[in-house]
Amino acid sequence: MAPSDGAVSCVVAMAAVWCGVVWCGCSRCSSALCCSGTSWSWGWASAGSSILAEFGTLHLEFVHLTELSGNPVFTEKVMNIRKLLNKIEKPHDHVSIGGLGDSFYEYLIKSFLMSDKTDQEAKKMYYSAMEKSPAGLTYVAEWRGGILDHKMGHLACFSGGMIGIGADDGPAGQRQHYLDLAAEITHTCHESYSRSEAFRFDAGAEATATRLSDRYYILRPEVIESYMYMWRLTHDPKYREWGWEAVEALEKHCRVDAGFSGIRDVYASTVSHDNMQQSFFLSETLKYLYLLFSDDDLLPLEDWVFNTEAHPLPVIRKTCLREHGSTRGDGQTNLE
């Protein structure tokens, strides 16, 4: 006899909690950060350093584990990480909203939303990190060793949607400012979408890849993600039009016999596939495309928050927090 949906859900929840228990056993390091382990791509992250997007992208999942298990230890672990980040001196050598840092900023605003807008600390940290770019095509540059590097990677294109979902709860009178900024960044990413994986805004280049190593496309979801959020927030038809352009381009240039493949050089007249369909193409790119063309009541944004891999997690209502009694000894909720 096949197991019921409830039994399957229970098994999945138990497995998730067990994974959290294993992680908590690892995270007993004095710094309160999780053990980053070994990084094949970034050697320095294997020598006592940690990646912001790694240890800073645990909050949604571990708060949800506390909800599943009733055990506050999961929330306490990630709150310790946040407290440490609030205390330490902020870096000045390399600051980026792209790879290695991206999802940390995303999780600040999403932690606030997932808490039913009670997590004021996450809200404060998020808005203190926001800063508008210069005029023209709006983009998010990188700070490297005291020099502004006018490059924006494809990974940073999620920020249009991130800024959009945070627009309602920004400083007084700033809602339209944030919505405009979100729309401008999403527009920039649309302009560059067919051009490259990373694009520059200097030396006469605008939203263009000037390096051979930046010309690939590996079926990334970030631009589609922003289209979906901006459609849900504004219902401007251009976001669905841009999404359909992406569908047609994927079918024309990336479709192969066994699925879809990345492209080595988007500027080449003849397509050269990399013979790889990334896992995030199914879990994120296609999911966000589906949601873009679905009704708003399918996983509505007021009830669900998507983690950095596009898995939906339910908003924890204030009433649920009170019913579960998830308070500490000082009377504050675990999300404060």
Question: What is the residue-wise DSSP string for 154-178?
Answer: GGGGGHHHHHHHTGGGSSTT-HHHH
Nearest one of 159, 63, 174, 52 to 112, comparing CA atoms: 63
Task: Count CB neighbours of 159 within 10 A.
Answer: 26
Residue appearing with tokens 């056993």: 25
**Burial class (CB within 10 angstroms; exposed 0-12, middle 13-18, buried 19+) of 117:** middle
Please give the sequence-ordered ranges of beta strands (E in DSSP) within 216-303, or none if there are none: 255-256, 259-260
Q: Report the percent of the chain where pLDDT is more than 90.
A: 35
- 213 secondary structure, DSSP code: G
Nearest one of 96, 62, 95, 94 to 80, comparing CA atoms: 62
Tell me: pLDDT of 46 over 50.
no
Stretch among 4-8, 62-66, 265-269 having the lowest mean pLDDT:
4-8
Span between the terminal Cα atoms of the chain, in Å: 45
Region class of 244: left (phi > 0), else alpha (psi between -120 and 50), else beta: alpha
What secondary structure, in 3-state letters, does 61-123 show? HHHHHHHHHCCCHHHHHHHHHHHHHHHCCCCCCEECCCCCCHHHHHHHHHHHHHCCCCCHHHH
**Burial class (CB within 10 angstroms; exposed 0-12, middle 13-18, buried 19+) of 316:** buried
Per residue in 292-336, pLDDT (tens digit) is 999 999 999 999 999 999 999 999 997 765 555 544 444 444 444
Beta bridge partners of 147: 144
pLDDT of residue 131: 52
Per residue in 215-263, pLDDT (tens digit) is 788 999 999 999 999 999 999 999 999 999 999 999 999 999 999 999 9
Tell me: pLDDT of 80 over 80.
yes
Q: What is the CATH number of domain 90-324?
A: 1.50.10.10
For 148, the token pair is: 């502004």
pLDDT of residue 140: 62
pLDDT of residue 327: 44
Q: Are 68 and 13 in contact (CB under 8 A)?
A: yes
Q: Collapse the DSSP code of 259 into the 3-class scheme (helix H, G, I; strand E, B; otherwise coil) and give the result.
A: strand
Distance of CA 285 to the CA centre of its chain: 13
* pTM of the model as a whole: 0.76
Please give the sequence-ordered ranges of beta strands (E in DSSP) within the chain, or none if there are none: 94-95, 142-144, 147-149, 151-153, 198-200, 255-256, 259-260, 304-306, 312-314
324 Cβ contact partners less than 8 Å away, ≥ 6 residues apart = 67, 70
For 184, the token pair is: 């401008």
Region class of 275: left (phi > 0), else alpha (psi between -120 and 50), else beta: left
The catalytic site residues sit at: 197
Nearest one of 120, 134, 158 to 280, comparing CA atoms: 158
Beta bridge partners of 198: 153
Q: Identify which has the larger pLDDT, 28 or 266.
A: 266
Q: Collapse the DSSP code of 147 into the 3-class scheme (helix H, G, I; strand E, B; otherwise coil) and give the result.
A: strand
